[in-house]
Amino acid sequence: MNKYSKLTENQMLNICKLINPDCNWEFHQLLDNDGKGTDDCYEFVGDDESCIQFNIHQSTDDEIRCYLKGNWDNDEVPSDKLPLINDYIQRKLGLDKVELISKQNSVLNELDKDGNGEIDLIQNDFNKLLNKNQKLIIELDKNYIHQFVKISNFIKTKKGNIQKIFESIRATSSQDELEERVSLLKNQVHTYELLLYHAINMMGALVSQNLISFYEIYESFDKLGVFNSNWENEVSEKLSNIGDKLDDLMYSIYNMEQNIVNELSHLSYITQESFEDLNRSVTSQLREVESSINTNNLLTGIQTYQLYKINKNIKEIR
């Protein structure tokens, strides 16, 4: 990494204008020199055949190549331009840091309204329902208790992973990285709510002996590996050890969230006539355990949410 690594594309363009203000500059292409995203070069061209390349992953001796007015034999930045560049970078990154901290604070306040350091999530009352219905479930088939415990652990681990990503917001080093992190976080909150909603309905379907709905949800959870996968546990471990390298894991997490949404969006039980009875039963049970969950509001939020798209080509260059 070098002094250009944290600049945005537009800031690089401004440096081109500082070096050669006598032509019109534009971004030309991003070169992935090693095919792995670890040797990127941002190339800009001027209308006088000038070309400047920012090698954001190289050391300082090869951080920028400057070919002015078609002179391809000299790649050095004019010495009188170096103080201008250094002054611009120091001023710009200083202002950006202040703005970044302000946006971080705004995001944290939005996601943690009571300021207790924890992201605001719907209360997970799944275990309350499980304890309430334990005897009845054992009478039907005690093996279901183990399956529900696995679901509970999956949801708990997911909640913990969401908290870890929430806490990582302070470590973001650019506004683009912050936006990507928040998008990922909101997607995870959505899938947490999605899993919790269908898990509660799965239990409600079993105790009310609506086995068609029960097995439809069960099969979807099984396809997602809820009962036999260590995915969330692996994510948890990586998040604990990853330090500032969350971007290496981010796109994998996004894909998993998308898989969850795609699988659970195909569940048809909520469109069946029997769903009204199931919803009433679940609502009544939630009241009995003094849960704050409103299933109707939760379902509305789930159905209207649109996944944020994560750009897998985003690098920490800004």
- 122 and 269, same domain (yes or no): yes
- Residue 162 is predicted with a pLDDT of 93
- 82 and 166, same domain (yes or no): no
- 76 and 133, same domain (yes or no): no
Domain interval for residue 299: 112-304
Let me know if residue 43 belongs to a domain.
yes
- Beginning with the edge strand found earlier in the chain, give each strand of the sheet holding 51-55 in spatial order: 25-32, 40-46, 51-55, 64-67
Mean pLDDT of 14-42: 92
For residues 313 and 176, the answer to whether their CB atoms sit within 8 Å is no
- 69 and 153, same domain (yes or no): no
Whether the predicted pLDDT of 250 surpasses 90: no
Mean pLDDT of 122-149: 92
- How many separate domains does the chain show? 2
Whether the predicted pLDDT of 268 surpasses 80: yes
- 130 and 66, same domain (yes or no): no
- C-alpha 309/C-alpha 79 separation (Å) is 43
Let me know if residue 98 belongs to a domain.
no
- 133 and 253, same domain (yes or no): yes
Whether the predicted pLDDT of 239 surpasses 60: yes
- 74 and 122, same domain (yes or no): no
- 33 and 153, same domain (yes or no): no
Whether the predicted pLDDT of 214 surpasses 90: yes
Let me know if residue 317 belongs to a domain.
no
Helix (H), strand (E) at residue 30: strand 25-32
- 166 and 209, same domain (yes or no): yes
Write the DSSP symbol of residue 76: P
Let me know if residue 312 belongs to a domain.
no
- 250 and 284, same domain (yes or no): yes
- Residue 231 is predicted with a pLDDT of 66
Q: Dihedral, CA atoms, 108, 194, 235, 57, nearest 10 degrees?
A: -60
- 66 and 121, same domain (yes or no): no
Whether the predicted pLDDT of 228 surpasses 50: yes
Residue 94: band (very low, low, confident or very high) from pLDDT cuts 50, 70, 90 = confident
- Residue 310 is predicted with a pLDDT of 58
Let me know if residue 105 belongs to a domain.
no
User: Per residue in 183-192, pLDDT tens?
Assistant: 989 999 999 9
Kindly report which listed range (123-132, 204-213, 250-259) carries the lowest average pLDDT score.
Answer: 250-259
Let me know if residue 178 belongs to a domain.
yes
